[in-house]
Amino acid sequence: MSAVDTAFHGLRQMVSSGLLGPGDKFPAEADLCEQLGVSRGPLREAVRMLSALGAVESRHGSGVYVSQLRPEDLVGSLALTVDLLPLSGLVDMYELRRVLESHAAAQAAARVDEATLERMHNLLDRIEATQDTKVASALDAEFHSLITSAAGNPTLAALTDVFRSRSRAYPLLDVPNGAEMKRISDQGHRSIAVAIGHHDPVAASSAAAAHVTQTELWLREYQPSVAENRIGD
């Protein structure tokens, strides 16, 4: 095990064991080096790694602190690795995405308020009216984020956003059948929104699962390449 790995696992153990909790300050750098048996360089690299994962915060002139360890923040850091997935790996994860998004839609149907429903339908009106794939993709992301937000679980919302973000790297609406695919996708969105508006969790779950499944089938069929700008979903 390298010195960096030793420092990383040592610091992580301090947090995971409960020795240090949310908001707590780590011991001084010199004390950590002695305790973990590493030099300052590997220790600082380990701190940077934990910071990238959202587990610690370095405060200039003050020291290193454990973050608030909010689940949604830690889950969001999965984007660091999920964004590396090739299309084959992303498609393999669609089963999980289907479960998550259908659950989110069901929860939204049980909890949604009228103001949120109005925003959903307004977004869908704008999606259906545009032929600009970049605009459609941005509005699509906003629509789905609104559903997971309405579900009331920030961790669920963060996880679905990670998966959907990677999906948008593979454009679908610019293929030859893009216009027809957009029409079908728009209908899928409406089905989800209507079911949520009727406060019908079962119908909302089924509509969301069908929508995600359709996207998966298109990805498998058309095998789009990664785009420099994310313009499809």
Domain count, the chain: 2
Query: In the numeric block, which tokens belong to residue 232?
Result: 């499809």
Residue 212 pLDDT > 70:
yes
For 88-115, write each residue's pLDDT tens digit. Answer: 998 988 999 999 999 999 999 999 999 9
More confident residue, 227 or 26: 26
pLDDT(181) > 90: yes
Do 131 and 42 share a structural domain? no
Handedness of CA 29, 34, 39, 44 (dihedral sign): negative
Could you read off the pLDDT of 39-94 as tens digits, one per residue?
A: 999 999 999 999 999 999 999 889 999 999 999 999 989 998 998 989 999 898 89
- Asked if residue 98 and residue 163 are part of one domain, the reply reads yes
d(CA 89, CA 28) in angstroms, rounded, equals 42
Check pLDDT > 60 for residue 230: no
Q: How far is CA 169 from CA 78, 95, 208, in A?
A: 16, 18, 21
Residue at a domain's end among 48, 69, 90: 69
- The residue from 33, 54, 69 where one domain ends is 69
Percent of the chain's residues with pLDDT above 90? 77
Given this model, what pLDDT does residue 63 score?
A: 92
Q: 56 with 87, same domain?
A: no
Dihedral sign of CA atoms 190, 193, 197, 198 in order: positive
Same domain, 86 and 146: yes
* pLDDT of the residue at 228: 53
The stretch 115-132 carries a mean pLDDT of 97
In eight-state DSSP terms, residue 55 is S
Q: Is residue 232 part of a domain?
A: no
pTM of the entire predicted model: 0.84
Identify whether 231 is part of a domain.
no
- Partners of 64 in the beta sheet? 58
Q: Is the per-residue pLDDT at 153 higher than 80?
A: yes
> Contact 145/104 with Cβ under 8 angstroms?
no
Rounded Cα–Cα distance for residues 72 and 76 (Å)? 6
pLDDT band at 36 (very low <50, low <70, confident <90, very high): very high
> Measured in whole angstroms, how far is the alpha carbon of residue 146 from the centre of its chain?
13
Q: Are residues 103 and 28 in the same domain?
A: no
Same domain for 23 and 56, yes or no, is: yes
pLDDT at 119: 98
Per-residue pLDDT, 46: 97
* Average pLDDT of the chain to the nearest whole number: 93
SS3 62: coil
20 domain residue, yes or no: yes
Domain hosting residue 114, numbered range: 74-222
Residues 65 and 84 in one domain: no
What CATH number has the domain bearing residue 31?
1.10.10.10
Nearest to 173 by CA among 138, 136, 203, 225: 136
Domain membership of residue 152 (yes or no) is yes
H helix runs in 37-93, sequence order: 40-52, 71-76, 79-82, 87-92
Number of neighbouring beta carbons within 10 Å of residue 6: 16
**40-52 vs 29-36: helix crossing angle, rounded to 10:** 100
Domain assignment of residue 228, yes or no: no
- State whether 21 and 83 are in the same domain: no
Give backbone dihedrals phi and psi of 25, rounded to 5 degrees, phi first. Answer: -95, 135
